[in-house]
Amino acid sequence: MDDPAFDQALITAAFALAAANGWAAVSAAAAARAANLPLEQARARFPCREAILLRFGRLADQSALTAALADGTPRDKLFDVLMRRFDALQLHRDGIRALLRALPADPATALLLAAATNGSMAWMLEGAGLSSTGLHGLLRTKGLVAVWLYALRAWDRDDSADLARTMSALDRALARAEEIGQWLDRATPSPAAPAPKPFPEDFAAPPTPDVSA
């Protein structure tokens, strides 16, 4: 089995274990045993449990960036790549939801994933043709993290087959972010521009960070 297939198999087994027994029951070794994978290869590829999440985040990013929209507005392109990312999460929905429930009691993993999410959102910006570098890139990235977490909360509650609730929340969040800071605009904001209105109360990020970064 080549490395990509091995990684996919172990990640699938890890999230299946999380769905069945909670995230606390997950380890790279346990996932390898559940999937009948060689322990020595699991040790080489996933030296710790957190490595499973980081690898899954990179795979989710790759899936989102593959065949991303070449035409359309930056908002359209961001909607496309972020929904592709949700499609990747949807494949392991129950396990990821189990992880989300466990994060408040696991601050080290929560912090690790929060940092990784910033990197993922920078890549989503680049996939939409927006720079993630410099001060304005940093602000865009932070804005997109807020958008992602808002939509993630909707995804967590969305039991529909077509993720309609998630799509609606993502569209609202992108529209609101665009209105607040014009952070999708490539131009430098005018110093005389009025201060943006705050996000509505229901735009607040969920209490747990993203699992795929």
Residue 51 has pLDDT above 70, yes or no: yes
Q: Determine the Cα–Cα distance for residues 66 and 37; give it in Å rounded to an integer.
A: 28
Contact 80, 69 (CB under 8 A): yes
Q: What's the first-to-final CA gap in the chain, in angstroms? A: 25
pLDDT of residue 211: 55
| pLDDT higher at 66 or 184 | 66
What does the pLDDT look like over 3-35, one tens digit per residue?
A: 999 999 999 999 999 999 999 999 999 999 999
Of 27-41, 58-72, 92-106, 146-160, the poorest mean pLDDT is in: 58-72
pLDDT at 191: 40
Supply the pLDDT for residue 200: 41
Exposed, middle or buried by CB within 10 Å (0-12, 13-18, 19+), for 95?
A: buried
Record the pTM. Answer: 0.84
Give residues with Cβ within 8 angstroms of 55, minimum separation 6.
Answer: 7, 11, 45, 46
pLDDT for 109-141, tens place per residue?
999 999 999 999 999 999 999 999 999 899 999
Q: What is the pLDDT of residues 158-208, one digit of tens each?
A: 999 999 999 999 999 999 988 876 655 544 443 433 433 434 434 433 444
Inform me whether the pLDDT recorded for 103 exceeds 80.
yes
Neighbours of 46 (CB within 10 A): 24
d(CA 42, CA 69): 35
